Amino acid sequence: MIRIRDIDHLVLRILDLEAMLGFYCGVLGCTVERRQDAIGLVQLRAGRSLIDLVPVDGVLGRHGGGTPAPDRRNMDHFCLRIDPWDEAAIRAHLDRHGVTIGETGTRYGAEGDGPSIYIADPEGNTVELKGPPSGG
């Protein structure tokens, strides 16, 4: 039997590496873990998981088809578990960076129902920021 613990990594095909690094590192606090510029891959540490950025004009990116666009997305969204969850501080931080912030709602995730906010990265990928389960 296969038992999934949590998300290991996800891969985003991107157009503007610097804008995406600014968002994921500068706004969300990821760090660059590894770069393989020869093949067009930047891996960001996001807690226990990785977010791989693959520019579409690089070696890897050219294998993936067309460029990302509002009518051609690779995914619906992905969710990052935020700890600690301080909604006011999170909203203030995002606002300082000019990020459009969606409504907070209670949504179900890997740990159960809890607060979450939807935002978008510079290329329109939807990112859900998720807090702890209700009562935890």
What is the pLDDT at residue 1? Answer: 65
Distance (Å) of CA 42 to CA 26, 55, 60, 98, 126: 15, 9, 11, 24, 19
Which tokens in the block code for residue 18?
Answer: 């610097």
What is the pLDDT at residue 2? Answer: 53
**Which residues are CB-contacts of 29 (< 8 A; sequence separation ≥ 6)?**
none
Task: Please report, in angstroms and rounded to a whole number, the separation of the first and last CA atoms in the chain.
Answer: 29
> Which one, of 81, 83, 67, lies nearest residue 124 by Cα?
67
Spans of the chain below 50 pLDDT: none
Type of residue found at 11: V
Q: Where are the alpha helices (DSSP H) in the chain?
A: 17-21, 87-96
Q: What is the pLDDT of residues 66-101, one digit of tens each?
A: 777 777 776 768 999 998 999 999 999 999 999 999
Distance (Å) of CA 26 to CA 20, 22, 59, 90, 132: 9, 5, 26, 14, 23
Q: E strands of the chain, at which residues?
A: 9-14, 31-36, 41-46, 49-55, 77-81, 104-109, 112-120, 126-130
